[in-house]
Each structure stands twice: as C-alpha cells, then as structure tokens.
C-alpha cells in the first residue's frame, strides 16, 4: 500500500473518532456553558456551541445564509483537498500528513453541523492578563496543525506550490 494512503487510512479515522467521541462526551455530560477548571487560571473544559466559523465568525449571520454556507463550502473544500491528496507524489508524506489533518478536522466539524446545526467546542484557554481565547475542539486543532504544517512547507519550498503557467 502507498504510504500516503496508509497515513490517510489510519490517521483520518482515528482523528474523526477522537473528535466525535470527545464532543459526544461533552454534549451528553455538560450543560451548555458549564465549565470545569483543569488548570486554574489557564485552561477549562467548557461546553460551547459555535454556529459560526473559526472563532465564531459569521455566527450572527442570517441562518438562511449561514446553514447552507457551512455545509456547502466545507464540501467544496473537502473535494479540493481530496483531489490534492490524490495528486500528491507517493513520497510526499509530510504533505499527506498535513492534508489528512485538515481533512479529518473538516469532516469532524461538518458532522457536527449536519447533526446539530452547530459545532461543539470545549477546550477553553484563558489568562488574566491575556484574556479569553475562543473555545475550540479536536477537529479545530487538527485543522490548525495541518494548515500550519502546510504553511511551513510553503515557506521552505515555495516552488513545490507553484502552478504551471501556459
């Protein structure tokens, strides 16, 4: 089996299962906005429902726009990322890892939007002098790390990301 597909076949389901299991645990055992300190003054587990995008962007948009938008756009993105993954050279394992993280995170949050109409967030970091960071989840973490790794690759090897010009 080509290693890039081994990465996809193992990491993708593991992340989606971890994401959905942690969200289900929070959804079934916490009341909305209930918070439990884990590291006093720094980190809480807090049940939040995010109807928007990252950091709550578009949360206040009209639901007639917001709901289809947050279903259609991720599906288009998933198709594009899947196509990129398929086109990857078999030896480009770092890119396969990065794209798998983004795919798994996008699917994890899309599942929430389809089932609940919102994304369950629960990892809440805060500090007295720095303020509150928006709550997030395992899927958000996977997307952030995946995109971060892609950006590092782009900075280290920009020619690999150039498209052919006719």
Reading the block at residue 152, the tokens are 């590092």
Query: How many Cβ atoms from other residues are within 10 Å of residue 81's Cβ?
Result: 18
Contact 99, 146 (CB under 8 A): yes
- Residues 77-107: tens digit of each pLDDT: 899 999 999 999 998 999 999 999 999 999 9
Tell whether 78 is covered by a domain. yes
Q: With bands split at pLDDT 50, 70 and 90, how would you rate the model's confidence at 163?
A: low
Confidence tier at 1 by pLDDT (50, 70, 90): low
112 counts as catalytic: no
State how many domains the chain has.
1
Averaged pLDDT, 98-117: 95
**Is residue 127 included in any domain, yes or no?**
yes
DSSP string for 89-132: -TT-HHHHHHHHHHHHHHHHHHHHHHHTSSEEEEEEEEETTTEE
Q: Judge whether residue 44 has pLDDT over 60.
A: yes
Report how many helices (DSSP H) and strands (DSSP E) the chain contains, helices first: 4, 4
Structural domain that includes position 95: 3-161
Note the pLDDT of residue 158: 76
77 in helix, strand or coil? Answer: helix
**In the structure, what pLDDT confidence band is assigned to residue 121 with cuts at 50, 70 and 90?**
very high
Active-site residue, 153 included: no
Q: What share of the chain is helix, strand, coil (3-state, %, to 5)?
A: 60, 15, 25
Among the options 60, 92, 121, 153, which is catalytic?
121
Instruction: Evaluate whether residue 166 is within a structural domain.
Output: no
Task: Give residue 9's pLDDT.
Answer: 95
């Amino acid at each position: 089996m080509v290693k890039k597909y081994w990465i996809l076949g193992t990491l993708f389901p593991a992340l989606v299962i971890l994401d959905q299991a942690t969200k289900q645990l929070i959804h079934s055992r916490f009341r909305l906005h209930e918070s439990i300190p884990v590291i006093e003054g720094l980190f809480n587990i807090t049940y939040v429902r995010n109807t928007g995008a990252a950091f709550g962007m578009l949360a206040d948009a009209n639901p007639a726009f917001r709901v289809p938008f947050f279903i259609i756009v991720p599906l288009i993105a998933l198709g594009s990322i899947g196509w990129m993954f398929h086109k990857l050279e078999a030896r480009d394992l770092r890119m396969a890892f990065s794209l798998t993280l983004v795919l798994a995170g996008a699917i994890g949050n899309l599942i929430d939007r389809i089932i609940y109409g919102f994304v369950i967030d629960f990892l809440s970091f805060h500090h007295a002098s720095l303020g509150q960071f928006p709550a997030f989840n395992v899927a958000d973490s996977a997307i952030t790390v995946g995109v971060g790794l892609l950006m590092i690759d782009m900075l280290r090897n920009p020619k690999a990301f150039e498209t052919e010009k006719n």
